[in-house]
Amino acid sequence: MTHGPGICVLFEPAARPAARLAGATAVVIDAIRATTTIVAALAAGAREVVPCRTEADVKAEAARRPAGSVVTAGERGGRRLEGLDLNNSPSVMTAENLSGRTLLLTTTNGTQAIHDALSAEAVLIAAMANRRAVARRAAALARPVVFVPAGTVGEVSCEDTLVAGAVIEAMAAEPGGEAFSLDDSARVALAAWRGAAGRLAEALRETRGGRAIVRLGLDADLDACAAVDSTDVVPVAQGDPPVIRLT
């Protein structure tokens, strides 16, 4: 992939303020678990997802909406916030829970990353589950691509880096994908993905985030996070405050 729009990865949240997002496609990733949860929710028939910064924001938004029209979900430190309906768990994002309803979601890292990416021309939500679908959309948009990993409490996240690399690899196979050029951060992500692709489930369990999920007994969530190309949905965040829908 050479000579065309650039691809870069903002490994650390601290890099976001200086990032050139205007005119770019931002791809937000919180592989364990927020973006996997969002993808699962919309694939299960949720009407939309509203990413909220805080628990208070979730409850205030729920109070403004008609009774029965929303499902609330969120976590801090991986644990469900008391008073919310669900944890930030892709494994519970089912049609029975969500079909036709709005998911109001707050998480430790991922929902903040979505807010931080809103100055981009387009904001796509990526996980292993929809990596090829996101790659197809990003290539078709033919703009510079900036990957925005959520990270883990301000630090680099291995699992988010792997998803970025997986999407970058898939972009190369899409029409127009060969025109993109990779900066060094994108090459690092691609190399990380190629090193882990043959043992992805194991690699995710070895990450900081994966170990935390295992300690909480949420192995089903890790299985969902490792399900490569299991759906074609492409969630898109629009507006400020943002709403995430399939467009």
Which residues have CB under 8 Å from 46's CB, separation 6+?
71, 93, 98, 99, 100, 101, 102, 103
- Residue 204 inside a domain? The answer is yes
Per DSSP, the three-state class of 70 is strand
105: nearest Cα among 64, 128, 76, 148: 76
CB 187 within 8 A of CB 13: no
pLDDT value, residue 3: 59
Alpha-carbon torsion, ordered 88, 92, 95, 101, to 10 deg: -30
Q: How many domains does the chain have?
A: 1
Q: Give whole-number Cα distances, 93 to 28, 200, 222, in Å.
A: 19, 22, 14
- Residue 12 inside a domain? The answer is yes
Q: What are phi and psi of 126, to 5 degrees?
A: -125, 150
Q: Give whole-number Cα distances, 234 to 40, 130, 171, in Å.
A: 11, 7, 14
Kindly report the average pLDDT of the chain as a whole number: 96
pLDDT at residue 60 greater than cutoff 70: yes
Q: Which residue bears the tokens 């405050």?
A: 241
Q: Give 247's pLDDT tier (boundaries 50, 70, 90).
A: confident
* Average pLDDT, integer, range 89-107: 98
- Residue 70 inside a domain? The answer is yes
pLDDT at residue 70 greater than cutoff 50: yes
Per DSSP, the three-state class of 205 is helix
DSSP 8-state assignment for residue 81: P
- pLDDT tens digits for range 161-198: 999 999 999 999 999 999 999 999 999 999 999 999 99
Query: Buried (b) or exposed (e) across 194-208, using 16+ Cβ within 10 A?
Result: eebeeebeebbbebe
- Domain range for residue 91? 6-246
pLDDT value, residue 143: 98
- Residue 73 inside a domain? The answer is yes
- pLDDT tens digits for range 128-143: 999 999 999 999 999 9
% of the chain with per-residue pLDDT over 90? 98
Q: What is the CATH number of the domain that holds 66?
A: 3.90.1560.10
Say which residue, 3 or 91, is predicted with more confidence.
91
Q: Give 1's pLDDT tier (boundaries 50, 70, 90).
A: very low
Q: Is the pTM of this model over 0.95?
A: yes
The CA-to-CA distance between both ends of the chain, in Å, stands at: 27
Angstrom distance (rounded) from CA 204 to CA 209: 8
- Residue 77 inside a domain? The answer is yes
- Residue 1 inside a domain? The answer is no
* Average pLDDT, integer, range 7-31: 96
pLDDT at residue 214 greater than cutoff 70: yes
Angstrom distance (rounded) from CA 136 to CA 173: 9
Alpha-carbon torsion, ordered 14, 222, 90, 78, to 10 deg: -50
pLDDT at residue 2 greater than cutoff 80: no
Question: Which two three-digit tokens encode residue 217?
Answer: 């007994």
